[in-house]
Structure 1
Amino acid sequence: METRINISKVDPKAYEAMIGLEKYLMQSGLDKTLYELIKTRASQINGCAYCLNMHTRDAMELGETPQRLFLLDAWRETKLFTDKERAVLALTESMTLLSNGQVTDDIYKNAETHLTPNELAAVIMAVVAINGWNRIAITTRTLLD
């Protein structure tokens, strides 16, 4: 598979805008391990090998267990994830799969129950960010290092 356009070189300002969102998320107070779970789950759904490779590695560096990462796509069938993580994963999936329908009130209210307003805002923006990165990496055929 041949790599396509390198947006960071062709249009650095576009790339810097995405980096700006990442900087916000790093300063938002969002738990870093939870953020890696969001990024990994959305990347699984989107089929982004580049991002999956990066974010599973980053998650393990933060102390995430291989077992939880192996079972992330089956999180509903395991008790390895907290109620808060489950609420965030449900929201992540729903936002990532918008073509399947709207984010339901049940999913949103469950996330709202487990997150502060600032955490909820950060989680929503985290899902937006990783879906953007997935679409960039897949479209440009960003290859694994």
Structure 2
Amino acid sequence: MTNRVHLGKSLPALYQAVVKLDQLSTEALANADIAEGFAHLLRLRASQINQCAFCVRQHTRDALASGESSDRVAVLAAWKETEYFNLKERAALELVEAITLISESQLPDATYEQAAENLTQAEIAAIEWLAIVINTWNRIAIPSRYIVKANTDAAAL
């Protein structure tokens, strides 16, 4: 593998601006009463779609550390086929997926209408910003090829 430009190290001021954006997004989620563990599941779902191994590992760990069950983490990629998520959570997951896949169909009216029926405006805004921020992190980590080495310590996860 060719050595790649590490975006965080090459332009640290821009990287720190994304860190600040992440902090503001996290505050918006807390102000909207979105549980920290579920917020990590939303980040994890976008990272799964984007195939960002670094962020998938990080947000799996963060979700579990925040009290999310291993079952909810395990079925996240197939959440539509489960009963693990309530209507609000399903609307939030649908919204994050639509924003992550925005080039495919923009943000469909049906997806937004479902969100508006089940979420407050504060929740929608916080979730949309979360999607924007995690997609930004994915787009920093993937081209920089953040290394994800196997950990032989099974307890590390």
Q: TM-score range by the shorter chain?
A: over 0.9
**Which gives a bigger RCO, structure 1 or 2 (Cα 8 Å, sep 6+)?**
1
Tell me what 2:98 maps to: 94
Tell me what 2:82 maps to: 78
TM-score of the two chains, using structure 1 as the length reference:
0.93
**1:127 and 2:147 equivalent?**
no
Equivalent residues, number: 145
Deviation of 1:119 after TM superposition, in Å, equals: 1.4
Tell me what 2:155 maps to: none
Q: Percent identity?
A: 41
**Unpaired runs of at least 5, structure 1:** none
RMSD, matched Cα: 1.4
CA contact (8 A) 1:3 1:142 kept: no
- Alpha-carbon displacement from aligned partner over 1:21-40 (angstroms, at most 9, x marks no partner): 11102211243122111110
Q: Distance in 1 between matches of 2:117 and 2:86?
A: 13
**Unpaired runs of at least 5, structure 2:** 150-157
TM-score of the two chains, using structure 2 as the length reference:
0.87
Deviation of 1:136 after TM superposition, in Å, equals: 0.9
Tell me what 2:153 maps to: none
Deviation of 1:45 after TM superposition, in Å, equals: 0.5
Deviation of 1:2 after TM superposition, in Å, equals: 5.1
More deviation, 5-14/85-94? 5-14
**1:39 and 2:59 equivalent?**
no
